[in-house]
Amino acid sequence: MRTLAITSGKGGVGKSQLTANLSIALAKAGKRTVAFDGDLGLANLDILLGISAEFTLQHVVAEQKTLDEVLTEGPGGIGFVAGGSAIHSLLHAGPKRMGTFLSQLEKLGEKTDYLVIDTSAGIDSKVMTFLTSADDVILVATPEPTSITDAYAVAKMLFRKRPDAPISVLVNMVSSPDEGKVVYNALQTVVQQFLDKDLTYLGYVRGGAEVGLAGRTRSPFLLASPQCTPSMDVRMLAAHILAAHQEESRGIAARLLDGMDENRLAA
């Protein structure tokens, strides 16, 4: 199982929409994909997917259900795990419950190709736990100057905690492909200058009326409007991800445990 953590420096950049639709694009490409709502503050991935989960991660933390049992069937052939406020309980669970969760996560990995985690925005320690544990971090930014500044803050904090962090930049809500590259270049320049690090350019997603309509109708735009510009861009992103992931990734459980220990010490 390969884990993708989708994050951003600020809210309102379309991170959850990208999580939902990218997960579906990976599933449509034949990959067994599970979307995981790891957003503590604004857990709304279920709304964007148009589903209502009877059980959540809270039931797993309380040892009332297994991770397999809270796994809900989502649109487009994906699986979905509702997290939300349960993330706080999970990250403060005792060794026994955490061990149980990690073993269940490893078992889930045996039948999952991609676990796509929708994290909270910002640099909270709980967000960093996911980012330091993931195989790949997808940092979402928009052309807004504040979004670029906040994205740099995330990169700075993550590189501090994990110097070899694999960060890819996805520029959302662009008016043209060129604008996406301009935003990436601006972010890459400050990261190189002040952190002496490099970011990878994953690509862009153009804006469109279909995105807003998808949010209001609780239907992912990749399914509701498969030929619209944002849908084509998301499929291209999925193709880039699949092309880049040829090697086996290290299991998330060990890194998640490592990340938790580091963040608890830093707290």
pLDDT at 167 over 90: yes
Q: Which domain holds residue 199?
A: 2-266
Q: What is the pLDDT of residue 114?
A: 96
Q: How high is the pLDDT of residue 182?
A: 97
Q: Give 175-217 pLDDT, tens digit per residue.
A: 999 999 999 999 999 999 999 999 999 999 999 898 988 888 8
Alpha carbon distance 6, 15 (integer Å): 7
* pLDDT tens by residue, 250-259: 444 444 445 4
Specify the pLDDT at position 193. 97
For the residues of 94-132, what is the DSSP string, one character each? -HHHHHHHHHHHHHHHTT-SEEEEEEPSS--HHHHHHHH
- Structure-block tokens of residue 43: 């857990």
Q: State the Cα–Cα distance between residues 21 and 35, nearest whole angstrom.
A: 10
What is the pTM assigned to this prediction? 0.87
Whether residue 102 has pLDDT greater than 80: no
CATH no. for residue 15? 3.40.50.300
CB atoms within 10 A of CB 236: 15
Instruction: Give the pLDDT confidence score for residue 173 in this predicted structure.
Output: 96
pLDDT > 70: percent of the chain: 84
CA angle 39, 87, 21 (to 5 degrees): 35
By the 8 A CB rule, do 8 and 155 touch? Answer: no
Of the candidates 246, 225, 245, the residue with the CA atom closest to the CA atom of residue 235: 225
- Tally of domains in the chain: 1
Strands ordered across the beta sheet of 79-81: 72-73, 79-81, 33-38, 114-119, 2-8, 136-141, 167-174, 200-206
